[in-house]
Amino acid sequence: MSALTVTGLCKSFGGLHVTTNVNLNVEPGERRLIIGPNGAGKTTLFNLITGELSPDSGSIQLFGQDITKTPSRRRPHLGMARTYQIITLFPRDTIIHNVSLALLGLSPARWNPAINIKRQGHLIEHGLAALERVGLAHIAERPLAQTSYGERRRVEIAMALAQNPRLLLLDEPFAGLSIDERRDVQQLLLAIPRDVTMVMIEHNMDVALEFAERITLLHFGEVIVEGNRAEVVDNPRTREVYLGH
């Protein structure tokens, strides 16, 4: 059984075909990289997989379960988590509160209007554990507004990890990071255990290539090349559309 199976997925905005008959098969525990030039439809593919957009046709399966019609808000409950290319956090709150919201999203306690959120020991405990994994536990109480861009990137990842996903979708987790920060994020991604399947969109080839076992190249919404690192890099189509030489 595959972790993620995408079959014949299509999506157009008006006359613009952003996803054209995409097929994707990601095995459990796999690290998959999706590359492609700007406008290739990478983020749209993510939005289709997470359900923020609904496909015109095709189907999506998560660990054998058809989730094509499952509302996007249900998908985290089935073990899918994502990070955003454009950082999407709660700027008025502290780091730990951001992670707590991620935890609460999967807990029935999110409907409870009568208990104090600050007194929920297990929320804070699990939140700190997730922050520990990204090396931010020591500044957990810091307001998000007072954090650096690199720290926010890691909060994004901590929120996804806090949900204990089976499938983790990372949308350009290295975007805008310095070389040092990139190395830190790369290390924390490499430390994620194999029971988490990961699909990553990334432009930054040197860090991304090290991460991935299989690579899918998208171009104008179509899968052009798919294979292991060497196959994709050596493929003449890759050089043509992406590497540019």
Partner 1 sequence: MSARNLAIALAFLALVTLPFWMPGIYYINVGSQILFYAIFALGLNVLVGYAGLVSLGHAGLFGVAAYATGYMLQLGYGHTEAILVALVIGVASMALYAVLSLRSTGIGFIMITLALGEILWGLAYRWISLTGGDNGINVPTRPAPFGYSLTVPTTFYYVTLIIFVASVVLSAVFVNSPFGASLMGTRDQPRRMNALGYHVWMIRFYACLFSGLLTALSGILFVYYTQFISPQTLSLTSSAEVLLMVISGGPGTLLGPIVGAGLVVVVKNVVSGFIERWNFLLGAIFVAIVILMPEGLVPGTARLWRLAFRKRAKPVKTETPS
Interface residues with partner 1 (CB under 8 A)? 50, 52, 72-77, 82, 84, 88-92, 97, 100-102, 104-107, 109-118, 120, 135-136, 138-139, 142, 146, 151, 159, 163, 184
Residue 95 CB, shortest distance to partner 1, in Å, is: 11
Q: Are 63 and 3 in contact (CB under 8 A)?
A: yes
Cα angle, residue 86 at apex, residues 81 and 92 outer, rounded to 5°:
85
Residue 196 CB, shortest distance to partner 1, in Å, is: 17
CA terminus-to-terminus distance, the chain: 38
Quote the DSSP letter at residue 195: T
Q: Are 21 and 9 in contact (CB under 8 A)?
A: yes
Tell me whether residue 115 or residue 230 sits nearer to partner 1 (CB atom): 115
Q: Are 91 and 152 in contact (CB under 8 A)?
A: no
Pairing status of strand 31-35 against strand 167-171: unpaired
Q: Side chain identity at 2, as an amino acid letter?
A: S
Tell me whether residue 77 or residue 237 sits nearer to partner 1 (CB atom): 77
Tell me whether residue 151 or residue 172 sits nearer to partner 1 (CB atom): 151
Tell me whether residue 1 or residue 114 sits nearer to partner 1 (CB atom): 114
**How distant, in Å, are the alpha carbons of 8, 79, 98, 153, 158 from that of 132?**
40, 21, 14, 14, 9
Residue 213 CB, shortest distance to partner 1, in Å, is: 26
Tell me whether residue 54 or residue 88 sits nearer to partner 1 (CB atom): 88
Residue 4 CB, shortest distance to partner 1, in Å, is: 16
Residue 109 CB, shortest distance to partner 1, in Å, is: 5
Q: Are 60 and 71 in contact (CB under 8 A)?
A: no
* Residue whose tokens read 């955003």: 84
Q: Residue 225's CB: how many other CB atoms inside 10 A? A: 20
Residue 56 CB, shortest distance to partner 1, in Å, is: 21
User: b or e along 40-55 (b: 16 or more beta carbons within 10 Å of the residue's beta carbon)?
Assistant: bbbbbbbbbbbbebeb
Q: How big is the chain, counted in residues?
A: 245
Tell me whether residue 38 or residue 116 sits nearer to partner 1 (CB atom): 116
Tell me whether residue 134 or residue 223 sits nearer to partner 1 (CB atom): 134
Residue 211 CB, shortest distance to partner 1, in Å, is: 21
